[in-house]
C-alpha cells in the first residue's frame, strides 16, 4: 500500500479516480493512503461469503444503534478512552459488536 504525502497542489484525495479505476485513495487517522483492487472476483458470492457479509452488516447496524443511544454512547466513550488498540470510537464499537456475533 502506497502512502501519499499531500502538498500544496494536492491537499486531499479520497475515492477512485474514475468509475473503471482499480486504484482508490482513503484517509485514516489524518494520513492519506492509496490501494489497488487486484484481480477482483467476477463470480457470485458463495454461501460463506454471503453469511460473512450479513454478519458485517449486522455488526454495523448494532454499532450504529449503540452509538445513537446517549447513555450507551457515554459508557462506550469511557471504555474507549481506557483502551489503546482502536483509534476511533466507531471502530472500537464495531469491534465489540462484531466480537459478540463471533462468540
| pLDDT beyond 90 at 5 | no
User: Does 41 reside within a domain?
Assistant: no
CA distance 79 to 103: 20
Predicted confidence at residue 2, as pLDDT, reads 65
56 vs 28, more confident: 56
Angle CA 61–82–69, to nearest 5: 35
Predicted confidence at residue 57, as pLDDT, reads 97
The answer to whether residues 25 and 63 belong to one domain is no
The answer to whether residues 72 and 93 belong to one domain is yes
| pLDDT beyond 70 at 65 | yes
Q: What range defines the domain where residue 22 resides?
A: 2-36
pTM summary value: 0.68
The answer to whether residues 91 and 53 belong to one domain is yes
| pLDDT beyond 70 at 82 | yes
Domain count for the chain: 2
Burial class (CB in 10 A: 0-12, 13-18, 19+), 94: buried
Amino acid at each position: 500500500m502506497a502512502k501519499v504525502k499531500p502538498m500544496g497542489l494536492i491537499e486531499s484525495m479520497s475515492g477512485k479516480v474514475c468509475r473503471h479505476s482499480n486504484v482508490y485513495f482513503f484517509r485514516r487517522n489524518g494520513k492519506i493512503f492509496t490501494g489497488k483492487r487486484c484481480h477482483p472476483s467476477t463470480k457470485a458470492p458463495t454461501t460463506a461469503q454471503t453469511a460473512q457479509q450479513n454478519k458485517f452488516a449486522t455488526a454495523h447496524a448494532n454499532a450504529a444503534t449503540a452509538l445513537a443511544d446517549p447513555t450507551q454512547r457515554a459508557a462506550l466513550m469511557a471504555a474507549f478512552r481506557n483502551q489503546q488498540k482502536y483509534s476511533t470510537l466507531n471502530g472500537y464499537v464495531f469491534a465489540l459488536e462484531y466480537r459478540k456475533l463471533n462468540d
